[in-house]
Structure 1
Amino acid sequence: MQIGQVANVWREVMSEFVLTHSLGCLVSHLLTILSDIILAKQDIKASDADIMVRLLTDLMERLKDILTINHVEVIHRVCEEPYFKMTEIIFCLNASLAEIGHRWCEGKGPLAMWLKPEQVTKLVKALFQNTERRRELLSHIN
């Protein structure tokens, strides 16, 4: 992964503070772009969702390693919004309608903290067929 190579070079020449914030900017940008791409999809097959979950989970683990400075994981501090947003997207890609509804928790759950109602609605529409259960969940989200 290229960010890992950049991080290794930067570790040698940057102070801890500058390194943390510089890597944080790169990782935040990457996660934001990936989130935007996923949330723009109109249809996501179950097999594609499974592949995305596997790849994104692996990516998130690698990024956590890259943003471990002096044995302290800092990704959640320096990339808070894009990191937790991607975590919730990964959850949705791997979840059932009921699990998504539970995580939304009437607009008060962790899903609602990091994704807007219209983003969750679009993701649910991309992932699930138009059924009564889906319509019911979407009515609770909107």
Structure 2
Amino acid sequence: MGRTGGRRVDFSIWLFEQRNRDDRIGRAAFDAFQEHQRRVWPEARTLQDRLDLMRERGVRGAPLRALEEAWWEYIDVVTKDVAEHHLLLEAGAVMERALSKAEAVEDGDRYIIDGASAQRLKRLLAKLKEI
């Protein structure tokens, strides 16, 4: 599916613009904007890094899922080059995290990565092919 148009905007800025929506993305955006104003919104290049930083601060469950849902919506509204850039960065971050937790199998030439990381990588690569 080819993409025409779209926006060229940073994820955080796009997210902050969503803060008046009446859904879970709007609530996540409102919270993120409040954190930004208090200067505690984590600066990160990838969603994976941002989620990891939020987990370190004790955030769990619905806010993390809403942030991920917002990120996927963001990917759908930005220009193709911006989407590709973020998808590739994200795939690299997910792979790096997965490999840091991977277990070597037998001779050390093969590794087992966790299922959640494998699923995220599949989704990221499928989206790259789609755009």
- TM-score, length basis structure 1: 0.34
Q: Which has the larger share of helix?
A: 1
- TM-score, length basis structure 2: 0.36
